[in-house]
Amino acid sequence: MSDYLIHPLNERGTGGVAVTAGGGEPLRCCLRGAAAGEEIVLFNYEQPLPGDGPYGQKGAVFTHAGECAGPASVTAYPQEWVGRPQALRAYDARGWIHPSTHVHDGTDPDAAIASVLAHPEVVEAHSHNLAYGCYMFRITRR
């Protein structure tokens, strides 16, 4: 069990594009890769930020098209995504990016997250895909 919580998307997009998964698309509702043939939706999502900071952004994300049971755990890094390089964007209470923001190679995501959350000014971090820059999930202390 980790010292952090992972917050998946618990909403579905409107105005998105229905897609039949080819397999591997990162589903933000259950924090796993889509299985080939699953019905999913790609939509524009505005990531939540603490405070009223200037760093808000929108990006495309995948979720299930219908109901989803959610992730296997919100107290452990998604096992299927270990090894996937990610950017960890750290935010302070104002919603400003904190200097502890960095890229990790995915081999030890728990250590990477711990290093970001070790700064008391950081209230949350967001994991982002390196290749596309897409928001993956939000991380807070337990």
Residues of the domain holding 131? 4-141
Residue 90 · residue 72 · CB < 8 Å: no
**pLDDT (0 to 100) of residue 101:** 96
Residue 53, burial from CB neighbour count under 10 angstroms (0-12, 13-18, 19+): middle
Res. 14 pLDDT band, cuts 50 70 90:
low
Res. 96 pLDDT band, cuts 50 70 90:
very high
The count of residues in the chain is: 142
**Residue written as token pair 């989803």:** 68
How many structural domains does the chain have? 1
15 pLDDT higher than 80: no
**pLDDT (0 to 100) of residue 11:** 76
Count other Cβ atoms within 10 Å, centred on residue 129.
17
12 pLDDT higher than 90: no
Please provide the DSSP assignment of 12-64 as one string.
--SS-EEEE--S--EETTTTEEPPTT-EEEEEEEEPP-STT-TT--EEEEEEE
**pLDDT (0 to 100) of residue 53:** 84
Query: Angle at CA 12, nearest 5°, toward 7 and 13?
Result: 115
Segment 31-54, tens digit of pLDDT = 999 999 999 999 999 888 999 889
18 pLDDT higher than 70: yes
List the structure tokens of 29.
Answer: 């509702």
Percentage of residues in the chain having pLDDT higher than 90: 82
Whether the model clears a pTM of 0.85, i.e. scores above it, the answer is: yes
